[in-house]
């Protein structure tokens, strides 16, 4: 058995990351300023988009995007129930109705057909999710939305660096939201980035990010906020401090190395777990050219594995191996069960099937190949249908 606990995620913090943050701490300016602007410029440069707005979380970025679309009571937002609850919370808190669509059983992503079937005259936005770092079918989803004048906000929290089949990186076109939470592929401690190719929309998000003031928080010449700044509309306070932005930028510079390492580990898992009964990895999504491998998810099917997910996770924990659940379906959570009038959903069979079975295995760049081998061996010991035979 492993001596040391293997968490399911761990950020890779280098000495350069530490130095970048230390420099900010010593500089005399630690909240939002030049470092935040630098991080935003790096996203714009890499993606070739128009605007990047860094925020204190991707949840905050999603809230701002929905606000900038003026979404409120009477409006519907189509999104999978198989997503992080933050998106759904923001929709509900704005008084709008989340309309849940089912996901593909083996990619966990909602396709254009399911989305189109859920659209009504009240639909104002669609929020597809690039699940686990694969690419959702954005070109087709955008086309059906554009025909009806519906906005698309791509939830790319898992997908910094993901590339689509057409060769474009996620976030190059349209509006997308990335998360820089510590379990995500790159981190700023906490943080998020909204990118958009719609300059006017980007300006409104930027304004709403900081109290609704007509100029940004920090002006180079001023070494601070312009004292003349005026409120153009009531806003929020979702700015990203420079301490965090410096870390995020330093991490962004290493994104490709991180993804390469994650991919090697993911392929090793696929190989080592192949043929383990009832332990089912996700399938490849056709729209994905480069997968960012944010998560390595398996579905533990009690019927074929001979053990349920709870038992599987407990047994791994007893062997010093951490796991996670990404995610429990939103509509099955207490508040949503108690408030069936606040959401809609049609035929969520594959969502529910997965919600009971998904489990994320350890995956982070500093993992060793042998760690993957150990996890796979432990799984074969735990799963009765694998016969307890080590891989």
How many Cβ atoms from other residues are within 10 Å of residue 274's Cβ?
11
Cβ count near 5 (within 10 Å): 11
Active-site annotation holds for 147: no
**Sequence-ordered list of residues with C-beta below 8 angstroms from that of 199, at least 6 positions apart, any chain:** 50, 51
Q: Any contact of residue 86 with ligand PLP (CB under 6 A)?
A: yes
State the binding string over 199-218 for ligand PLP (x if CB under 6 A, else -): --------------------
| Smallest distance, ligand PLP to C-beta of residue 305, A | 26
Taking CB under 6 A as the criterion, the residue among 31, 51, 87, 187 binding ligand PLP is: 87
Binding-site member from 35, 142, 181, 272 for ligand PLP (CB under 6 A): 181
In the chain, DSSP finds a helix count (H) and a strand count (E) of 14, 13
Query: How far from 249 is each of 59, 116, 189, 196, CA to CA, in Å?
Result: 19, 37, 12, 19
CB nearer to ligand PLP: pick between 84 and 218 = 84
| Size of interface with ligand PLP, in residues (CB under 6 A) | 14
Give the integer Cα–Cα distance in Å for 186 and 244. 12
**Among residues 35, 158, 290, 357, which is the contact residue for ligand PLP, using CB under 6 A?**
158
Question: In the stretch 285-324, what mask flags binding to ligand PLP with x, by CB under 6 A?
Answer: ----------------------------------------
Whose tokens are 């690419």? That residue is 135
> Which residues have C-beta within 8 Å of that of residue 71, sequence separation ≥ 6?
77, 91, 94, 96, 124, 125
For 295, the token pair is: 């998560």
Smallest separation (angstroms) from ligand PLP to the CB of 191 = 7
Q: Which of 118, 129, 246, 329 binds ligand PLP (CB under 6 A)?
A: 129
Which positions from 33 to 72 touch ligand PLP by CB under 6 A, shown as an x/- string?
------------------------xxx-------------
Cis bond before residue 384 (omega within 30° of 0):
no
The residues that are catalytic are: 184
Q: Which residues bind ligand PLP (CB under 6 A)?
A: 57-59, 83-84, 86-87, 129, 155, 157-158, 179, 181, 192
């Amino acid at each position: 058995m492993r001596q040391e606990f293997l968490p399911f995620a761990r950020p890779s913090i280098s000495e350069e990351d530490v130095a970048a943050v230390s420099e900010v701490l010593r500089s005399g300016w630690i909240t939002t300023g030049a470092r935040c602007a630098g991080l935003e410029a790096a996203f714009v440069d890499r993606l070739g988009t128009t605007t990047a707005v860094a925020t204190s979380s991707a949840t905050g970025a999603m809230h701002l995007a929905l606000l900038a679309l003026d979404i409120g009571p009477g409006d519907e937002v189509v999104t999978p129930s198989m997503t992080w609850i933050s998106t759904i919370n923001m929709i509900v808190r704005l008084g709008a109705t989340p309309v849940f669509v089912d996901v593909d059983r083996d990619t966990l992503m909602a396709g254009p057909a399911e989305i189109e079937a859920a659209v009504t005259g009240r639909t104002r936005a669609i929020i597809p999710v690039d699940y686990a770092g694969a690419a959702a079918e954005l070109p087709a989803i955008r086309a059906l939305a554009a025909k009806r004048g519906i906005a698309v906000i791509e939830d790319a929290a898992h997908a910094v660096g993901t590339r689509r089949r057409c060769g474009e990186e996620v976030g190059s076109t349209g509006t997308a939201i990335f998360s820089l939470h510590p379990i995500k592929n790159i981190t700023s401690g906490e943080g998020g980035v909204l990118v958009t190719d719609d300059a006017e929309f980007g300006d409104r998000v930027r304004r709403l990010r900081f109290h609704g003031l007509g100029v940004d928080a920090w002006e180079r010449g001023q070494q601070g906020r312009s004292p003349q700044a005026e409120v153009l509309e009531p806003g929020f306070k979702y700015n990203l401090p420079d301490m965090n932005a410096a870390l995020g930028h330093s991490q962004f510079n290493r994104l490709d190395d991180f993804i390469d390492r994650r991919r090697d580990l993911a392929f090793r898992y696929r190989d080592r777990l192949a043929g383990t009964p009832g332990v089912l990895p996700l399938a490849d999504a056709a729209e994905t050219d480069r997968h960012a491998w944010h998560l390595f998810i398996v579905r533990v099917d009690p019927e074929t594995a001979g053990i349920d997910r709870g038992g599987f996770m407990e047994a791994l924990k007893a062997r010093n191996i951490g796991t996670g659940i990404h995610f429990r379906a939103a509509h099955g959570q207490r508040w949503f069960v108690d408030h069936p009038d606040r959401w809609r959903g049609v035929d969520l069979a594959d969502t529910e099937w997965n919600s009971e079975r998904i489990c994320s295995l350890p995956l982070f760049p500093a993992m060793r190949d042998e760690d993957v081998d150990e996890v796979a061996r432990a799984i074969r010991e735990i799963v009765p249908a694998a016969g307890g035979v080590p891989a």
